[in-house]
Amino acid sequence: MGIRRKIGLFFCFVCALLLGMVMHQHGGITRSLTANSQAVVHPVSVDTDQDLIEQVSLAPAMAQSSPVADSGAGSGITPGDVAAAGPYAAIDEYHNYRFSVNGDQVFRVGNLPGTSLRFNETDLLTVLQNTQAYFQTYAQENPDVQREGILGTQGVTVSDVLNTLEFMISTLQEDIANQQPIRLKDPNFINTHFRVMEWTAYNPDDPGQRLVRLTKYAVFTHPGSRTPTATYNIPLYRLGTDAETDRFYLNYTKQDVLAGIYEPGGREHGRVEPLAYLTRDSFEDALMQGTILINFTDGTSAFFNVDRNNGIAYDRSISPYRQGRYWYFRPVNSIQGYGHEFDAKIAIKPGVTFAGDVLNVGLGRIIVLEHSTGGQAQLQLGIMADTGGAFMPNLHQLDFLAGVFRDRNEFYAQTSSLPEYARAYILVKKD
């Protein structure tokens, strides 16, 4: 009995030792996953009522509900590891898992056709530089822009994106300074110096979609007044610097605001700054587009951009006029694109800017659209420097900043030649 007991105790000791080793290893994995999850928990951006354009900071994102092949910064995963790990897992604006897809289904190496590329070189240079400056200034405090996204499955790193921006900036600067042909408009130059990643749309709701859907957005000019009048009586308000002290603005719906909660005699009079007064139609358009250019009755004009909302989600089942969500605005000097904070947004230009999925495709990716206009092949080049809630996740759509327009008729006339669907490419500078 003594020998058997000793043998039994020995086996118990061995089993306990092995179990401890397994638990230790598992604990290391758990800490690694937790650390990686914490690396992506941070304030995120949401969309305007159109779900297409300007963003504001909100509460910290929730942890992912399913394991995600993030390929983001801080994970210690190389592009090769990501590709070998299996399908890419797309996430939404709160970093929750939404769906998985093989990267090879979405991107493959191709070549541009032999058609000159279209873009305004000065405007493109400006947005390239502004996007590069955003990376240089804010990448450490905004891990979203350090994500490789689905292009990581193809071996494309954030360093590759930054090298692409730098190469395009220096090439444009040299060509403009020397008043020589713009090399980036030459498809042969592009095919020689860039990896051309042909983009096949992936839409879980429409498996047959192959071309990328192209929507268009704009900034519209509207008349308005700096004081309320019989015609202009719907307010745009700005929150004060102390608004986050008690976050009072979260207590009131759009209908409360329109009923005069902030006007003289209202419960919260004096707590916000009136920026402008518009007609109801102009006001709703400002909420939908996110940016508005107001021509005031005193002869002045100014851009205004969404800042923060009252925390009420947009309800797609009811009309815009009956929504509870209200946006507060701030004056800006230009059209504003992506940014994790209001004062950290990228100044963008029409004709060279696309809004898209910055979490799963990525900020600063260079886009080329191929389509036909009047039987003639067209190649339109621009940069992804804007986003919105409709693009998180969205691997089948881009939104093109078409311009600043007086009204819808002018907008439709200007954009009527642009297709609803187009073949798309992403350019990455070769090593």
Report in angstroms the alpha-carbon separations of 259 from 67, 255, 378.
Answer: 46, 6, 50
**Same-domain check for residues 210 and 281:** no
Q: Is-contact 136 145, C-beta < 8 A?
A: no
In this prediction, residue 76 carries a pLDDT of 38
CA–CA distance, 329 with 303 (Å, rounded to integer): 10
Is residue 7 predicted with pLDDT exceeding 50?
A: no
CB 98 within 8 A of CB 359: no
**Alpha helices, H only, 93-237:** 103-106, 121-138, 158-177, 187-193
Counting DSSP H helices and E strands in the chain, the numbers are 10, 18
Boundary-marking domain end, from 332, 359, 388? 332
Over residues 299-309, mean pLDDT: 94
Domain-located, residue 55: no
> Does residue 387 share a domain with residue 301?
no
> Is residue 234 helix, strand or coil?
strand
Q: Which two tokens stand for residue 36?
A: 């990686």
Looking at residue 58, its pLDDT comes to 26
Residues 308 and 413 reside in one and the same domain: no
> Is 409 strand, coil or helix?
helix
How many structural domains comprise the chain? 2
pLDDT digits (tens, 9 = 90+) for 308-364: 999 998 887 999 899 999 999 999 999 999 999 888 999 999 999 999 999 999 999
What are residue 426's phi and psi, to 5 degrees?
A: -120, 135
> Domain for residue 11, yes or no?
no
What per-residue confidence (pLDDT) applies to 23?
38
- Among the three residues 301, 332, 363, which one is the final residue of a domain in this structure? 332
Read off the pLDDT band of 94 (50, 70, 90). confident
Within 10 angstroms of residue 372's Cβ, the number of other Cβ atoms is 10
Place of tokens 């910055």: 358
d(CA 25, CA 402): 54
Question: Is 97 inside any structural domain?
Answer: no
Distance CA 45, CA 359 (A): 11
pLDDT of residue 389: 67
Q: What is the pLDDT of residues 27-37, one digit of tens each?
A: 333 222 222 22
pLDDT surpassing 90 at residue 262: yes
User: Does 80 map to a domain?
Assistant: no
Helices (H), 252-339: 254-258, 280-289
CA 224, CA 337: separation in Å to the nearest integer?
24
Range of the domain at 209: 104-218+340-429
In this prediction, residues 88-94 reach a mean pLDDT of 93
Read off the tokens for 52: 């297409």
CA dihedral 56, 59, 64, 70 (to 10 degrees): 40
- Mean of the pLDDT values across residues 209-234? 96
Q: Burial letters for 407-425: b for 16+ Cβ neighbours within 10 Å, e otherwise?
A: eeeebeeebeebbebbbbb
Which is higher by pLDDT, 55 or 296?
Answer: 296
For 274, the 3-state DSSP assignment is strand
Instruction: Say what the pLDDT of residue 6 is.
Output: 45
The CATH number linked to 371 is: 2.40.40.10
Minimum mean pLDDT range among 10-24, 107-121, 167-181, 221-235: 10-24
* Range name among 22-26, 281-285, 308-312, 422-426 with the lowest pLDDT average: 22-26
Kindly state whether residues 345 and 383 are assigned to the same domain. Answer: yes
pLDDT at 393 over 90: yes
Q: Is residue 26 part of a domain?
A: no
- Taking residues 255-274, report their average pLDDT: 95
Same domain, 390 and 324: no
Q: Check whether residue 199 and residue 276 sit in a common domain.
A: no
Domain boundary among the residues 332, 356, 378 is at: 332
Residues 371 and 324 in one domain: no
pLDDT computed for residue 51 by the predictor: 41
Q: Identify whether 209 is part of a domain.
A: yes
Q: Do 384 and 411 share a structural domain?
A: yes
By percentage, how much of the chain surpasses pLDDT 90? 71
Cα distance between residue 174 and residue 348, in whole Å: 22
CA distances from 205 to 103, 266, 368, 395 (A): 18, 46, 24, 11
pLDDT at 412 over 50: yes
Specify whether 255 is located in the same domain as 346: no
Confidence band, pLDDT 50/70/90 cuts, at residue 391? confident
